[in-house]
């Protein structure tokens, strides 16, 4: 008989900028049991017979009065207190007891008075509550949004027998927090089938429940006034932010290039041991400087590796940033300046706090602006003999460099040729960097307005474009040369001799 009722009684959340006190809900309940259906059928027969003159009017009135308890409609406001219809008779009787619904309504007012005060006699050493209660979590949590709750209950008993606990049902629950979120369970019908409500007890009855939002909408003049208020608020906030930032764009002094690098140590792979961490520092060449309080070194966190394909990869995602300034002392100098170099060292740490050197590497900061993803290969010093490898495996430690810049060209080197003859190394893994480079100079702005010939290397081609192109050509040449050497090493010896002989014959 209740197949047409809606079974989706889940809660729904609404967001409103209006005050929750303006919420109004219309509740309509109708008895939907076999007796109610029979009474409706009898009423239709009575109306038919009345038209024929077979039944008097008193019979119809009595039937209508008996069916008056099967349907009721009520409009409820936010936190509106409504009592049962037997409240008047309960007041007249001297020894009458309050109903369950009236008792629940009375306890709502004194709910805050039942809270026990916090005992301040606990020692300060007991700062952790190992078994917190639900109320303690709600009141002591850092993010605690106040929530108001409203319950709408219905007494489904017949007239004269109201107040029975098994006939009282929870029709609707509404919650509203301070952020303007209103949660209602069950949701408004919105044209759907009514909800089904069953009473408890021996004689179960089925009711159909319909919920409708009948709150008064905002008037056009109030809506327009609210929009003007929000628009004025946004304009004031925008002006406040502009006052903090200012209108003048910060420019470096003339003849100075400002370099900002926001980088990230992304990952490392191909190393022998697990639990890796990276120690790095930035070397500033001649004519480069930075602010005194800026740190040019750092250490990442220790990271465990994860097997991806054939490699063990450690994902650091460690961010770093620095700011440097370049200024040429001699404007007549024609040589290209050197760019900052990032030196790094990869180490491993095991369970027994033994660390091992896994590899050294370096990275030249790109001379062009934008995003760059660079993978740097590493190596470590290798000591001959098996004793060194046994020491590395059992007690940790390995040969290290006193000067990290020896990975590339030491800063203290003043000669013409740097010889590493006899220095044994072993290739280890690689480290990937993500760099976001920003170049800031007054010459970039003046490049489109000045017509005169620029006298210094800093002003030529808007700063360091010439140097960047030279570096790119040199790096491409070095890569092509390495590929050619690798290709020659992979060929057989007899083929190389035959090719060399042919070349000599063709030259003759």
Three-class SS of residue 393?
helix
Q: What was the pLDDT predicted at 455?
A: 43
Of 82, 79, 99, the closest CA to residue 90 belongs to: 99
Check: CB of residue 300 under 8 Å from CB of residue 316.
Answer: yes
Distance CA 154, CA 173 (A): 12
Handedness of CA 396, 399, 401, 404 (dihedral sign): negative
> DSSP labels for 406-472?
GGS--TT--SS----TT--EEEEEEEEEEEEEEEEEHHHHHTTT--SPP-STTTGGGTTHHHHHHHH
Check: CB of residue 186 under 8 Å from CB of residue 195.
Answer: yes
Tell me the H-state helices in 141-252. 220-245
Give the contacts of 433 (CB within 8 A, at least 6 positions apart): 263, 264, 265, 266, 342, 363, 372, 373, 374, 375, 376
CB neighbourhood size of 221 (10 A): 8
Give the contacts of 329 (CB within 8 A, at least 6 positions apart): 287
Distance CA 338, CA 320 (A): 22
Of 67, 59, 61, 73, the closest CA to residue 33 belongs to: 67
Distance CA 33, CA 38 (A): 9
Of 79, 237, 223, 212, the closest CA to residue 151 belongs to: 79
Handedness of CA 486, 492, 497, 500 (dihedral sign): negative
Check: CB of residue 87 under 8 Å from CB of residue 105.
Answer: no
Q: What was the pLDDT predicted at 353?
A: 79
Phi-psi region of 419 (alpha: psi -120 to 50; beta: other; left: phi over 0): beta
Burial class of residue 240, CB neighbours in 10 A (0-12, 13-18, 19+): exposed
Look up residue 293 and give its two tokens.
């309080």
Distance of CA 166 to the CA centre of its chain: 47
Distance CA 170, CA 100 (A): 13
Burial class of residue 167, CB neighbours in 10 A (0-12, 13-18, 19+): buried
Torsion, Cα of 487, 488, 489, 493 (10° steps): 140
Look up residue 254 and give its two tokens.
């003339």
Look up residue 21 and give its two tokens.
């006190």
Q: What is the CA radius of gyration of the chain?
A: 42
Give the contacts of 444 (CB within 8 A, at least 6 positions apart): 462, 463
Check: CB of residue 342 under 8 Å from CB of residue 365.
Answer: yes
Distance CA 339, CA 364 (A): 7
Tell me the pLDDT of the chain (508 aa) as tens digits: 445 677 777 888 888 878 888 889 998 888 876 555 555 656 666 666 666 554 444 444 444 444 456 788 888 888 888 766 554 444 444 455 666 666 666 665 554 444 555 555 545 555 677 788 877 776 676 566 788 899 888 887 777 777 777 778 888 999 998 888 899 998 888 888 888 888 776 677 888 889 998 888 878 888 888 889 989 999 999 988 888 877 777 788 888 889 999 999 999 998 988 889 999 999 998 889 998 888 899 999 999 998 888 888 999 999 999 999 998 776 555 556 788 999 999 999 887 778 888 899 999 999 888 999 999 999 988 877 777 777 777 777 777 788 878 888 877 777 778 888 878 888 899 999 999 999 888 777 665 555 444 444 444 434 444 455 555 666 677 777 777 877 777 766 655 555 555 555 544 4
Three-point CA angle 328, 330, 336, nearest 5°: 60
Give the contacts of 473 (CB within 8 A, at least 6 positions apart): none
Q: What was the pLDDT predicted at 266?
A: 94
Of 312, 430, 343, the closest CA to residue 379 belongs to: 430
């Amino acid at each position: 008989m209740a197949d047409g009722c809606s079974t989706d009684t889940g809660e729904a959340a609404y967001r409103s900028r209006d005050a929750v006190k303006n919420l109004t809900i219309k509740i309509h309940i109708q008895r939907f049991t076999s007796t109610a259906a029979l009474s409706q059928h009898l009423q239709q027969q009575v109306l038919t017979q009345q038209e024929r003159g077979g039944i008097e009017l008193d019979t119809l009135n009595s039937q209508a009065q008996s069916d008056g308890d099967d349907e009721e409609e009520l409009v409820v406001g936010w936190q509106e207190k409504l009592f049962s219809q037997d409240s008047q008779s309960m007041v007249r009787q001297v020894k009458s007891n309050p109903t369950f619904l009236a008792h629940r309504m009375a306890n709502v007012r004194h709910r805050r008075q039942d809270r026990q005060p916090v005992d301040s006699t606990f020692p300060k050493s007991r700062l952790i509550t190992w078994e917190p209660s639900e109320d303690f979590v709600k009141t002591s949590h850092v993010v605690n949004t106040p929530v108001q709750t409203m319950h709408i209950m219905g007494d489904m008993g017949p007239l004269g027998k109201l107040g029975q606990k098994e006939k009282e049902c929870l029709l609707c629950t509404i919650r509203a927090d301070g952020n303007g979120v209103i949660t209602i369970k069950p949701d408004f019908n919105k044209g759907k089938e009514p909800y089904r409500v069953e009473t408890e007890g021996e004689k179960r009855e089925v009711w159909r429940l319909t919920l409708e939002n009948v709150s008064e909408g905002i008037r056009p003049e109030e809506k327009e006034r609210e929009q003007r208020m929000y628009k004025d608020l946004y304009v004031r906030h925008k002006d406040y932010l502009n006052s903090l930032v200012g209108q003048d764009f910060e420019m470096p002094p003339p003849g100075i290039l400002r370099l900002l690098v926001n980088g990230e140590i992304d990952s490392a792979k191909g190393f022998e041991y697990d639990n890796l961490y990276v120690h790095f520092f930035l070397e500033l060449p001649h004519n480069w400087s930075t602010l005194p309080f800026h740190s040019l070194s750092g250490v990442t966190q220790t990271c465990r590796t994860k097997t991806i394909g054939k490699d063990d990869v450690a994902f650091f995602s460690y961010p770093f940033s620095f700011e440097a300034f370049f200024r040429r002392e001699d404007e007549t100098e024609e040589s290209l300046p050197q760019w900052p170099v990032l030196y790094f060292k990869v180490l491993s740490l095991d369970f027994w706090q033994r660390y091992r050197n896994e590899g050294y590497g370096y990275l030249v900061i790109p001379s062009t602006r934008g995003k760059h993803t660079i993978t740097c290969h590493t190596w470590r010093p290798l000591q001959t003999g098996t004793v060194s490898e046994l020491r590395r495996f059992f007690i940790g430690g390995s040969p290290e460099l006193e000067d990290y810049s020896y990975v590339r060209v030491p800063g203290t080197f003043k000669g013409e040729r740097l010889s590493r003859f006899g220095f044994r190394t072993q290739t280890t893994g690689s480290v990937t960097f993500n760099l976001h480079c920003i170049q800031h100079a007054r010459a970039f702005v003046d490049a489109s307005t000045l017509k005169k010939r620029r006298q210094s290397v800093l002003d030529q081609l808007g700063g360091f474009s010439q140097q960047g192109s030279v570096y790119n050509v040199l790096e491409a040449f070095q890569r092509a040369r390495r590929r050619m050497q690798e290709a020659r090493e992979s060929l057989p010896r007899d083929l190389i001799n035959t090719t060399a002989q042919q070349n000599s014959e063709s030259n003759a």
